Amino acid sequence: MTAVERISQKIKRSRRYVFEHKDFESFESYAQVGRALNQLIDKSELMKLGYGLYIKARLNSLTGKLMPMYPGGIDALMREILKIKGVVFEIDSLFLQSYAGGRTQIPSSVNYSWSQKQFNR
């Protein structure tokens, strides 16, 4: 079984949606894992989010373009990435009040804040 097949199988079986390059270090060397991940990106199974971060992907039925496959949406994806990286973050108070039912207005976006010393990407 090739490195691409092994990594693809692990991704398909996993309940997670976000992966790091280091999650596959036990399979092959660093360079081989990188090539395998690039092949999976070319096959539209993965999407690269940033340096060493990948997410399961699928083709959008309307546009035909590749899009992240995450059930909670982009905001939940952002929280998941920050948790994986071990970043302590805060969500803005307007979103928290709306989420708790204290406000009837729904904010159009969620703002996150964290220490720039801890995470600066």
pLDDT at res. 56: 93
Q: Is 50 helix (H, G, I), strand (E, B) or coil?
A: strand
Closest CA to 46 of 82, 2, 11: 11
Global confidence as pTM = 0.76
Report d(CA 98, CA 91) in Å as an integer: 12
Note down the domain range covering 16.
Answer: 3-70
In a domain, 111, yes or no: no
pLDDT in tens, 42-96: 998 999 988 889 999 988 899 989 888 888 777 788 888 888 888 777 777 766 6
CA–CA separation, 2 vs 5, rounded Å? 5
The stretch 108-113 carries a mean pLDDT of: 69
Please report whether residue 79 resides in a domain: no
Answer yes or no: is 28 within a domain: yes
- Does the residue 119 lie in any domain? no
What is the model's pLDDT at position 47?
93
Whether the Cβ atoms of residue 50 and residue 121 lie closer than 8 Å to each other = yes
Q: Measuring CA to CA, which residue among 16, 52, 10, 11 is closest to residue 34?
A: 52
Query: Domain count of the chain?
Result: 1
How buried is 78 (Cβ within 10 angstroms: 0-12 exposed, 13-18 middle, 19+ buried)? middle
- Which of 12-16, 24-28, 76-80 is predicted most confidently? 12-16
Q: Residue 57 has which token pair? A: 């992907």
Q: Would residue 13 count as lying in a domain?
A: yes
Which residues lie below 8 Å from residue 98, measured CB to CB, with a gap of 6+? 104, 105, 106, 107
